[in-house]
Each structure stands twice: as structure tokens, then as C-alpha cells.
Amino acid sequence: MRLLLTGCNGQVGFELQRSLAPLGEVIAIDHADCNLAEPDTICRIIRTVRPDIIVNPAAYTAVDKAESEPDLAAAVNAAAPGILGEEAAKLSAFVVHYSTDYVFDGTKTDAYTEDDDTNPQSVYGHTKRDGELALVQASPRHLILRTSWVVGAHGGNFAKTMLRLAAERDSLAVVADQWGAPTSAALLADITALLVRQQTGAPTSFPYGIYHCVASGETNWCDYARYVIGAAINAGKPLRAAPKSIQAIATADYPTPAKRPANSRLDTRKFQKTFGLELPHWQGGLDHILQQIL
């Protein structure tokens, strides 16, 4: 089996190289190998590799920058998944793609289900939603995993930013009215490998579609930062800021170019029931990552 993996140097892509390796030949590419903003390049690589599986964690993820680069964000996040799907359909290949909580507006009081209407509030969210639609239309053999607040040992993320700032400053101010679940890149990669194995074993009966896949539990950015900094101090890392010096602020106090959803909680009951997988609490995955980076 031949697997084409995009974005291999990103947080999830890095972990996917490990998790997918036992399943077959993995052709791992990154931006230097394939610029997803260039349709001809995408087509050429797929037609050359002729993969059985395409796994696409690559995306334009600079949420605020996307507000000033909408065309580039649309090319990578909206158009490219459709092209991947079109080329995959010609080969009867299976496409795994990752999406985001930003497809929702964040105003719902409960966790979002897959049946809830999307209503993105940012360029990033719009382009990711459009990418979902493009892939669904292009190829019936697709699996779209919506996730949130991805964190990994490799690459940049919120946890590493908080550790850096806590080493430089005596106190921090972090938004406390946005809620979600930090989700380990390694968890997403391991789940992907399990689902790819299921699909290759029974491609005609596999439950294709869109699923919410995040760690269980919930927190806000401020408490998340306090948890990370507390764990680092307990591990002996010298930091200037302590958990008690992390000030909780409102989103309105920290304006950004892109609007963030206040509620990023995703309901995973459909995913867990369909695939028989229990999703672990976010603290466990984060603890494992902190053990690697501290």
C-alpha cells in the first residue's frame, strides 16, 4: 500500500510519519515538495505517486494573517482539498483530511455536533469549511476529522508559547472565555492509522464522512496556560511566571484580526460510537507532550 502524506513537517504530519509507517510505503512531502497553492503541482505529484491513501494535514493555519491573505488561505485550505479529492477519485484512493472548530461561530451553549450548521467567522474558518465542501463533492471516499487546539512535541503551539513567555515575564494575561479541548497531535496520528487500517480492510463498508475528533474534557486558554506552567515548574524548569500570576482576561480585552469562537467544544459521540474508540482526556496527552519538551 502506498500512502501520500502532505505537510509532513507540521505538528500532525510529523506524528503521522511515525504512525503510518507500519501500514505501507509512506511518501512524505512538505511545502518545498508540493505547494498546495499550485493546482498543477498537486496533480503532478498525485499522478506520479499514484497513492492508495492520501492523508492531508497540510493547511494554511496562520489564523490572523489569513485576514490579510485570503486568496492564499483559500488556495491551500479550500481549493487544494477539492483537487486532492478529484485526483483521488480517479485512482479510487481514500482521502483523510483534517478540519477545525473554526467552521462554527462559537455561539452554541453545548458542544457542536456534526449535524450543526457551520457559520465561520474568520477567513481561516471560511476556507476550512469550503475545503470540507470541496472534498465531499469531489470524492466519496473521504474521512474529514474536525479537531481543535492541536498541541504536539514537534512544531510551534500554544503550550510552547506559554513556556517561552513564562520564562521571560513575571506575569501573563490570557483569555479565559474561549473553551475547547487541547488535542494531542500524536493522538490524531494514532487514530488516523487505526482508521486507515479499518478502511483498507473493508473499503466498501467503511463509514466515510465528517467526524469530530478531539480529546475529552474541556478547559479555557487561561487555565490551559496555568496547567502548562504549573507542570513545568513541578518538573524543575526555572520560570519567572507562576500559575497564580496568570491573569484571566476576556476576549474583548485582547483584540485580534480574526474572530475566534468562544465555544470550540466538539461533540465526539458519533466518532466514538461509529469506530468503537474512546477518546482520552486532554490532560493525559498534554502531560506526555510536556514530558518530551520540558
Cα separation, 33 vs 31, in Å, equals: 5
DSSP state of 152: -
- Of 51, 46, 1, nearest to 22 by C-alpha is 1
Cα separation, 235 vs 154, in Å, equals: 19
Cα separation, 77 vs 178, in Å, equals: 24
**Longest alpha-carbon distance in the chain:** 57
124 is catalytic: yes
| Cβ(95)–Cβ(56) below 8 Å | yes
Active-site residue, selected from the candidate residues 112, 124, 224, 227: 124
Q: How many CB atoms lie within 10 A of CB 167?
A: 14
C-alpha cell at 111: 458542544
Amino acid present at 173 = A
Q: Which residues are catalytic?
A: 124
